[in-house]
Amino acid sequence: MALFGNSSESGAGEMSFLQHLEALRWHLVRSALVIVVIGIACFCFNDFMFDTVIFGPLRQDFISYKALCSLGYKIGAGDVMCMTVKTPHLQTLSASEQFFTHMWISLMGGLILGCPYVLWELWRFIRPALKATEASPVRFFVIIASVLFFIGIAFGYFLLFPMSYNFLINYKLSSSDIVQTNNTLDDYISLISTMTLVAGLVFEMPILVYFLTRMTLLTPSFMRKYRKYAVVVILIVAAVITPSPDVTSQMVVAIPMYALYEISIFVSAYVVKKHKLDKL
Mean pLDDT score, 101-117: 95
At 82, give phi and psi (nearest 5°).
-85, 135
pLDDT at 7: 43
Confidence of residue 99 (pLDDT cuts 50, 70, 90): very high
| Whole-angstrom distance, CA of residue 75 vs CA of residue 72 | 6
Q: What percent of the chain has pLDDT over 70?
A: 86
Please check whether residue 238 is in contact with residue 254, taking contact to mean a CB–CB distance below 8 angstroms.
yes
Domain locations in the chain as residue ranges: 1-171+178-203, 204-280
Q: What percent of the chain has pLDDT over 90?
A: 39
pLDDT at 179: 84
pLDDT at 240: 74
Number of H helices, E strands in the chain: 14, 0
pLDDT tens digit string along 142-158? 889 999 999 999 999 99
How long a stretch of residues is the chain?
280
| Whole-angstrom distance, CA of residue 84 vs CA of residue 47 | 25
Say which residues have a Cβ less than 8 Å from residue 115's Cβ, sequence separation at least 6.
Answer: 146, 149, 150
Q: Kindly report which listed range (21-30, 42-51, 101-110) carries the lowest average pLDDT score.
A: 21-30
Confidence of residue 78 (pLDDT cuts 50, 70, 90): confident
Confidence of residue 122 (pLDDT cuts 50, 70, 90): confident
Say which residues have a Cβ less than 8 Å from residue 49's Cβ, sequence separation at least 6.
Answer: 42, 105, 106, 109
H-assigned helices in the chain: 7-10, 17-44, 46-47, 63-74, 97-113, 115-126, 132-135, 141-155, 161-170, 185-202, 205-214, 220-225, 227-241, 247-279
pLDDT at 146: 93
Mean pLDDT score, 24-51: 94
Mean pLDDT score, 14-35: 84
Confidence of residue 231 (pLDDT cuts 50, 70, 90): very high
pLDDT at 4: 43
